[in-house]
Amino acid sequence: MRAELIDGKAIAKSIREEVARDVRGLVERGVTPGLTVVLVGDDPASQIYVRSKERACIEAGMNGRTIRLPADTPQAELMDLVDQLNADPTVHGILVQSPLPKHMNEEAVVYRIDPAKDVDGFHPVNVGKLLIGARDGFAPCTPAGVQELLVRSGVQTSGAECVIVGRSNIVGKPMAAIMMQQADGANATVTICHSRTKDLAAHLRRADIVVAAIGRAEMITGDMLKPGVVVIDVGINRVEDASDPRGYRVVGDVHFDSAAEVASRITPVPGGVGPMTIALLLRNTVRAAERSLRAAERSLGA
């Protein structure tokens, strides 16, 4: 293997340590950052995500709370809960775990969350702020985590050709918005590819940085990449594997072995982007708490 590994676990750990330090500073000033996660229904993957978010909050010294609602909860009840959380000064971040049951309108729920508490960064106000480069919004945690991986690994992004594969609202589009900004860790020339892109490999072969967010196991192979490219693999896919006691293993959207022969740096799956998402969620929550404290101090001073 030629490529150096980008160790997302280690980088996420240092971000979580920084978050814990910031939390201690806030607690000394009388505020404990609080994240409330709302889980509707009993989707097994969501249960795991929610538990790990709660555990990570508590480890960082924050108030991590999960509110569990039955799958048949009426939409109006969830909206009322969001209103209560919006009004609760001890709640700095609100996250309604996706996917919601089919009878619910997910978009309406996201729109209802106070943008100042939308630590997932999916509210249109935060999406807009990200696009215009305003610094007082919240960037979605997974693409923000990818940027941190690049910055903390010393990858030169300024002037780089960055090809993003995938245009979802949670990864691909915000990733593009982040990398095109006139800012440190950005300033890239961005291309977004998707399922209608003609000749994906031709785009990939120009790239200095590839971000794969497709949801298709090992789709990008080494022969599609330029030597020396930095590969960030967001994908999380289960593939059958009889040799694994679970009967499956988890792989990314990039064929790791062939890509690692060509790339200069590459993220593993698991252990690359995955751990960054929670670290950035904690950081966004601390930022929300800092902003609310500053606002309270300003209003006292006024």
Return the active site residues.
Answer: 53, 97, 120
Residue pair 20/286 in contact by the 8 Å Cβ criterion: no
Q: How far apart are CA 125 and CA 114, in angstroms?
A: 10
Q: How far apart are CA 254 and CA 224, in angstroms?
A: 10
Interactions with ligand NAP, residue window 147-166 (CB under 6 A): 165-166
Q: How far is the CB of 277 from ligand NAP (least distance, A)?
A: 4
Residue pair 194/253 in contact by the 8 Å Cβ criterion: no
If we measure between CA atoms, which residue out of 166, 142, 175 comes closest to residue 276?
A: 142
Enter the tokens of residue 88. Answer: 């609760």
Of 112-120, 212-220, 238-246, 256-264, which part binds ligand NAP (CB under 6 A)? 212-220
Of 27-35, 148-156, 193-201, 288-296, which part binds ligand NAP (CB under 6 A)? 193-201
Q: Which of 97, 142, 284, 285 binds ligand NAP (CB under 6 A)?
A: 142
If we measure between CA atoms, which residue out of 199, 210, 219, 231 comes closest to residue 165?
A: 210
Q: Which of 196, 198, 246, 298 binds ligand NAP (CB under 6 A)?
A: 196
Q: What string marks each residue from 239 to 268 as x (binds ligand NAP by CB under 6 A) or -? A: ------------------------------
Q: Which of 56, 164, 170, 178 binds ligand NAP (CB under 6 A)?
A: 170
Please tell me whether residue 174 binds ligand NAP under the rule CB under 6 A. Answer: no
Where does residue 72 rank: exposed (0-12), middle (13-18), buried (19+ CB within 10 A)? exposed
Which residue ranges make up the site for ligand NAP (CB under 6 A)? 142, 165-168, 170-172, 193-197, 200, 213-216, 234-237, 273-274, 277
